[in-house]
Amino acid sequence: MTAPTGTRAPATWRRCGALGLAVAVGTADWETSLAQPAPGYQFGACAEPSRAQWRTGPIQSLYLSMRDGVRIALDLILPEGAPAGSRFPTVLQSTRYWRAGDGDPPNATQRFFTERGYATVWMDVRGTGASGGIWRRSRSSMETRDYAEVAAWIAKQPWSDGAVIGWGISYGANTADFLAIEAGRRVKATIPLFPDFDVYNDLIQPGGIFHEAFGRLWSEGVKAQDRNEPRPGPNGALRGVRPVMGDRGEAELGRYLALRDTVPGIYEGYRVIRYKDDNPRGWDGSLDRRSTHAHFRALESSGAATYTWASWLDAGTANGALHRFATVRGNQRVVIGPWSHAARYSASPYQSADTPLTPSLEEQQLEQLCFLDQWVKKRDNGMRQRLVIYYTLGEEVWKTTPVWPPAGFRDTRFFLGADRTLSRQSPTISVGADRYQVDFEATTGTANRWHTQRGGGDVIYPDRRLLVYDSEPLTRDLEITGTPVAGLLIRPTHEDGAFFVYLEDVAPDGRVTYLTEGQLRGIHRKIALEPPYRVFAPYHSFHRRDAQPMRPQRINEMVFGLLPTSVLIKRGHRIRVAIGGADKDTFARVPAEGEPAFLVERNASYPSWISLPVRER
């Protein structure tokens, strides 16, 4: 029976090994850290941030030739009105979404920084916008080497004080990371807003299941940009990319556009990837090798202070931000909010759609300015502490902690039981299982956490029919903060499948609130012994060598992390675990053919469970 909703399992998990692998031991709960989270945080409230004392100068567009002769389009804007001979640190954004449209004035970010004594350089990455070259995939080695050359050029200019800052949202956030990786000590700070630390795990193939919707729709969108198809500008008028100033710039743009039309879209590479070490034709390395995590030692060596922004409700950005915080040494801050992509929309499921954005865009800018003033202008304004600033959904409160996971939370196991129950008591029955026929029409819709990257609106999960397990009503408030871990004992009918686990809050009136989710493809269930970075749940390599067909009609162990969250579930509410096998409008169908079903074991010999990092109030 399904309900509408929004080998034996190991006992619990401890850390071991050089990078913090989770492995099975014992049965007791354990406390995760020593530092208690502190409630409250005021954004942009540092001591003496830079004042708006200059004007935003005119846009100067130019071409800069790279080592192989490819010409990169740049927009330079300087503070205007400063004393002669003034030198400024420079905020650099490298983007594949057009550095600007034709006729656009300086944008709000450029104005904010130039008025406060920072130069800005916006760059079209190789093969995009008005730049030359060919773009086949994200962050190719040729593209990322360009970032270092642009940084070196900036440092030599008479208006530059030599300091370069990486700033950007989404794609631009990833380029900010690679700027530090490639340019090293020249980069004094980075502010990556919603980056992908591990692009396979956190965006393209979470759990080894292809994010079909993103791969297809994003590829179509960026291909349209590379053809220079007009799109709305700040005043609503349609326009193409800004050419570099002068007749030669117009001619060069036309020549570049003619060369791009026959280049395959990135979807052509995405759709053939199954394993993390796959390298599609025409690419210069796998998704794994061109992810930030594979170069974290270079990030450390750069010495750049980093302020990463992410959300509990935006793909896997929070997952990546916390993995980075735990792995990369140095001056780091992380903020994880209740937003959709880019922190332009407040998306807490416990608040109404018209709830004001928190913090406001102005407060976000001031917070970033405080950080840069601390590390670039050397102002002692209280931003030195290594810190995670996070928002607890349901409680609607900001908190801070210098370590992750924060203290006071204990990993507590809830077992799937008879009659669709969820209990802290392990099963005692000798036989017990629930059958689920995979519904390939089941969908979380097109406004879920995986679609927010293409628009940044509200995050909404509709009701759908899944296999659900509910706890008894809580007798006191319960906070969940950290990474839940699911342990399922599955008897499948096929050698492969997709397994989705959703964590939800069921109110006394029956209203279901989505909290987080995790997924794992059956062939990737083997737990890796050496994760490439510090993790908070069992790690799966997703490499070809570790793939294992499932054993039909036999027990298969599926132990995997859900995406992290922080939520307060109120007294009288129930905790729900929902299990499914497909998400039609987001993920690829697994297996591609057939009508699979599976049994979820829930008995004394083969208990299925979810472990939650909880603190009771």
Which residues carry out catalysis?
170, 314, 341
Closest to 78 measured CA to CA, from 180, 157, 190: 157
Cα diameter, the chain: 83
Report the distance separating Cα 518 and Cα 152, nearest Å. 42
- Give me the residue label for tokens 């599976």: 598
Strands 12-16 vs 21-25: parallel, antiparallel or unpaired:
antiparallel
- DSSP-assigned letters across all residues of 538-593: ------GGG-----TTS-EEEEEEPPPEEEEEPTT-EEEEEEES--TTTS--SSSS
Report the distance separating Cα 126 and Cα 134, nearest Å. 6
- Residue 557, φ and ψ in degrees, nearest 5: -90, 130
- Sequence-distant (6+) residues with CB within 8 A of 463 are 4, 5, 6, 512
8-state DSSP, 375: H
CA distances from 158 to 75, 114, 376, 422 (A): 16, 16, 18, 66
Report the distance separating Cα 174 and Cα 291, nearest Å. 9
Inter-residue long-range contacts of 281-286, CB under 8 Å, 24+ positions, other chains counted: 282/136, 282/137, 283/136, 283/137, 283/140, 284/137, 284/140, 284/141, 284/142, 285/140, 285/141
8-state DSSP, 606: S
Residue 420, exposed/middle/buried by CB under 10 A (0-12, 13-18, 19+)?
middle
Residue 546, exposed/middle/buried by CB under 10 A (0-12, 13-18, 19+)?
middle
Report the distance separating Cα 39 and Cα 372, nearest Å. 24
Closest to 535 measured CA to CA, from 293, 300, 173: 293
Cβ pair 472, 577 in contact under 8 A: no
8-state DSSP, 261: T
8-state DSSP, 274: -
Given CA atoms 46, 48, 50, 51 in this order, what sign does their dihedral have? positive
Cβ pair 556, 525 in contact under 8 A: yes
